[in-house]
């Protein structure tokens, strides 16, 4: 627990939740435009693949934001958020096929880690000096 920035994790999670909700709404509108309205609670394979592809930048963004808001243990906080999110997702998603749930869980943690790593590398990059 000494390695975790609880305040950064909570604030980052709130910001990530709000931002990912905005992305989700945009994704739903795009999906409706592309695929049309279907039966409530049913998803075609094309819609699920679109959803997986659309979630890649969102997952990267989530890791980046959590790392940016955290004062220390930036990558660790993003990974903790990723693990908690995957556990929550696995136990609450019963409307989608098993292949979608597993593939979402498998790609989420590495993408959140990559987003956090992008922030850390960007933050540690020395600024160019003007001559």
Angle between helices 45-69 and 98-124 (to 10 degrees): 30
Q: Which residues contact 56 (CB under 8 A, 6 or more apart)?
A: 107, 111
Residue 71 has pLDDT above 50, yes or no: yes
Between residues 103 and 94, the one the model is more confident about: 103
Distance CA 34, CA 14 (A): 30
Please give the Cα distance from 22 to 61 (Å, whole number).
12
What average pLDDT does this structure show over 51-73? 88
Residue 89: per-residue pLDDT: 84
> Around Cβ 79, how many Cβ atoms within 10 Å?
18
105-131: pLDDT as tens digits = 899 999 999 999 999 888 776 645 444
Instruction: Identify the CA nearest to 83 among candidates 57, 62, 54, 56.
Output: 62
Which pTM was predicted? 0.80
Q: What is the pLDDT of residues 17-58, one digit of tens each?
A: 888 888 888 888 888 888 777 776 677 888 888 888 888 998
Question: Is residue 66's pLDDT more than 80?
Answer: yes
CA–CA dist 101, 51 (Å, integer):
11
């Amino acid at each position: 627990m000494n390695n975790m920035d609880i305040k950064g994790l909570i604030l980052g999670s709130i910001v990530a939740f709000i931002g990912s909700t905005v992305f989700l709404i945009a994704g739903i509108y795009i999906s409706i435009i592309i695929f049309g309205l279907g039966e409530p609670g049913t998803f075609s394979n094309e819609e699920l693949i679109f959803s997986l592809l659309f979630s890649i930048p969102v997952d990267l963004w989530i890791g980046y934001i959590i790392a940016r808001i955290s004062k220390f243990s930036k990558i660790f906080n993003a990974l903790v958020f990723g693990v908690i999110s995957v556990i929550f997702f696995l136990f609450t998603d019963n409307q989608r096929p098993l292949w979608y749930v597993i593939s979402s869980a498998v790609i989420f943690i590495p993408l959140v880690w990559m987003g956090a790593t992008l922030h850390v590398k960007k933050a540690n990059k020395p600024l160019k000096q003007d001559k």
